[in-house]
Structures are given as C-alpha cells and as structure tokens.
Structure 1
C-alpha cells in the first residue's frame, strides 16, 4: 500500500495524476481542491479542500506515512515585463513557491516516516529557455527549480525530489492560449514533435517519478516539452 498526496487535483495534470494513481488499487490517494469542489467515486481516492495561501495548512486527513507528494498548483500569466506589478510578483510567488514550501514543511514528518518517499514539483520550460512575456512565471518557477535541487540534497537518501518542466500543455490552465483550433495548431508547430502536451503526458512522468521505478533519480529538472528546449529542426 502506497499513500500519495496530490495538491491541486481538481483539474488538469493534478486531476489526471490522481486518476492514474488511484487506478492501482494498492494505492491510497488524497487530492486537494481550492475553487472547484471535487468528489471521487473511487474508494481509494478522496478529495479535500485546501488553500495553499493559508498560514497554517491542515493535513489532518492524511495518514501518518506518506510515500509521495506532487504539488500541481500553477498559474500562467503572460504579459510584457513593464506591465507586471510588484503585487503580481508577490502573489505569484506566494501561490507557486511559498505554497509548495508550506506544503512540504507540513507533511515532511509523514514523508520521513516512509521507507523511500518522493516529491514532484512543477517548473516550466521558460526557466531554462527564455520566452517573451514569461518574466512572471519564469521567476516563480526558477525558484521552484532551486528548491528542487536544494531539497534533493538535504533530504537524501530517504526522500527524492524532482521537478517536471513542461512546455504548453492542453489543460484548463492554458485555455486562453489554446482556445481556438488555430492557436492549438500554431503552438503545436513551434515544437519539434509538432504537437502540444496533454495532461496524461505530464501525469505519466509524474507517476514515474513518484514510483520506486525512478528510485535512482533525484535533484533533476525533467523537460517534458516536445523537444522545444533542446532541438532546432
């Protein structure tokens, strides 16, 4: 029996990951939602309200041992740098970085109680590859990449920490960028594989990193991006 916590599980990658983990009946999965209340019909999957902006996060619904945590909370706000306010930078950092920090700190004793635990965070291809209008998201996700490596060193050997760095993925979070067939095709053509990512593409990678199959992988930022960060064709 493995116990997994997925924060930000009401839609997109988090929702897909919950379903995939819960498909294995030996797993127990807890997902959290914020704006959209979510109910599960699977006996080994339950959903709980959580606002990562709260000062004190309550995880009393979890068992004493946690084998894996995926922090899937994300925001996408693309605009010219000159139009980004300091308040927007602070709000983005609080949700994406401090939310992850508070969550990890709160459940760390449960992760340490497991024989071998894994944490999966989410970055973006825009940290390592510069794109116009990405100065807000790249700043927060750059911090996530730094935390990933630092925690991987500090928590080894019992807890592995990795992050996924996707390019644009067809989820509700990116709908403003993909809300017409023309936008979808234009974004697909920017990638060497000529398609955009799906929630399953990212959930598959996250499920692997949470599992013991990736037991010799830690401190890595894994690009799941259709080749856009490393290929020119």
Structure 2
C-alpha cells in the first residue's frame, strides 16, 4: 500500500527529521513550510522519487487547501497529516504583544485547524488514516514568561483529544509533546550554558532531545503498530513530566 504524508514545518528541526524518517520508512512525503530554500535543502537529502515540496503558510486557509490539493495531485491520496508547524514568542502577561500572541495562536493552533479541515475529505478515503500533531510539554503545563505559547500548545493538546473522539474509528488523532529539543527554535536557549545546566538537572535523562528522537515517535504513532492508539498526547521529554515538580531530595 502506498502511503503519503504531509509534514508541515518541514524545513528544519522536528519536521525535517520526520520527513527523513517517513521517507526511510517508504512513505511519499510532502514537505511544507514558509521558506522554500529550507524545504528544498531537506528534500535534497531524500530519495528523488516520492518527495514533493509545497511552500506556504498554514495559518492561511487557502495555503492549507493548496497544500492538500498538490499532495493528492502528486501521489493520488493522503494517509497521514503531521501538523508540526509552530513558532514560539516569549513574554509575561503585560509584556507579550497582541501581535505575538495572535501569531502563535494562528500558526500553532490555527494551522492545525486549517490543515485538518482541508485534509479531512482525503483522509476519510484512506485506510489507516491518521493525524499526528506536535504539541509540547508547554501544552501540558505552564512556563514562566511563555503564557502565549502555553495557550497555543494547550489548544493543540486538547484539540487532539477532542478530534480523536470525533474522527474515530476512521481516523486516529494523536500528538507528541516534546520538551527541550535541539532545533533552530531553541538555538538561543542552547547557547545559554546556565539554562542548559538547569534543563539537565530537571530532565531525568540529563539532556534535551534530538529531532530524530521525536520523529521516531511520530513515525510510530503514524504506523500500523499504533493502530489502537488514539487521543494520546505523548510526552517525549526524557522523563521531565514524570516529576511532580518538587526538588530532588537526594541532590
């Protein structure tokens, strides 16, 4: 069976790693993002056959519609939608601008809405169809100075659960919730040695994730092996969310 996946935010980080993993697993992959050069660079590392690049902004319904249309025209159908596009802009209440708040909501949550709305007619035709969203540990609890991002990723988490109810049994819907991951989005954080030390102290595995480690979980959720997994927001966080938040008594 030929399987085709759309992966948004595929120009770098988790999205690029997911595209590579799906291609390795024999999927047709449709790479989406706002920066064509980045998408072309990722596509250049994949097998020439079975890859399509469709640039566009998923916060715009017309771009989401065009993405699905071009995917289906290229490969004849759609099996999986990976909603990975996202941005993060910090700021405490009173400091975060309305523009930055809306941008996060429009891309992180609105992009999921737009792509799911566009993809549903095609997903309903496919056997084993699924949606995998990229939420975050920031969509499971709060962070200091990140309430806008928390709101957007919290929306993704609960959208995932609700859509899983509405779309079963024909389409499974799950999400991953990564913690710190080595991507362009976290580059500034990675350069802060003191902050990285604090992360290492809080994450039981002692480090952040690599994009491929998150991609492998996305690939599992999209696979036949996960055929009875539905409505899960799965932390990929090295054990961070296993803690109740109290300090290490043995340290």
Kindly indicate which of the two structures has a greater share of residues assigned to helix: 2
Kindly indicate which of the two structures has a greater share of residues assigned to strand: 1
Partner of 2:169: 157
Whole-Å Cα distance in 2 between the matches of residues 78 and 168 of structure 1?
15
Q: After superposition, where does 1:1-233 map in structure 2 within 5 Å?
A: 1-24=2-25, 26-37=26-37, 38-39=39-40, 40-41=43-44, 42=47, 43-57=49-63, 58-59=66-67, 60-63=69-72, 64-231=76-243, 233=248
- Which moves more between the two structures, 187-196 or 157-166? 187-196
Q: TM-score, normalised by structure 2?
A: 0.87
Aligned to 1:140, the other structure's residue is in SS state helix
TM-aligned CA deviation for residue 66 of structure 1: 1.1
Deviations 1:14-62 (A, max 9, x none): 00010111113x3211111212422224222222111113241213211
Q: TM-score, normalised by structure 1?
A: 0.93
Aligned to 1:132, the other structure's residue is in SS state coil
Aligned CA RMSD, in angstroms, stands at 1.6
Aligned to 2:126, the other structure's residue is in SS state coil
Mapped contact 2:88–2:104 kept (Cα < 8 A): no
Whole-Å Cα distance in 2 between the matches of residues 170 and 121 of structure 1?
19
Mapped contact 1:76–1:174 kept (Cα < 8 A): no
Whole-Å Cα distance in 1 between the matches of residues 239 and 89 of structure 2?
23
Whole-Å Cα distance in 1 between the matches of residues 238 and 223 of structure 2?
23
Q: Aligned pair count?
A: 232
Ranges in structure 2 where 5+ consecutive residues have no aligned partner? none
Report the CA distance shift for 1:36/1:178 in structure 2 as closer, same or farther (over 3 A). Answer: farther
Aligned to 1:104, the other structure's residue is in SS state helix
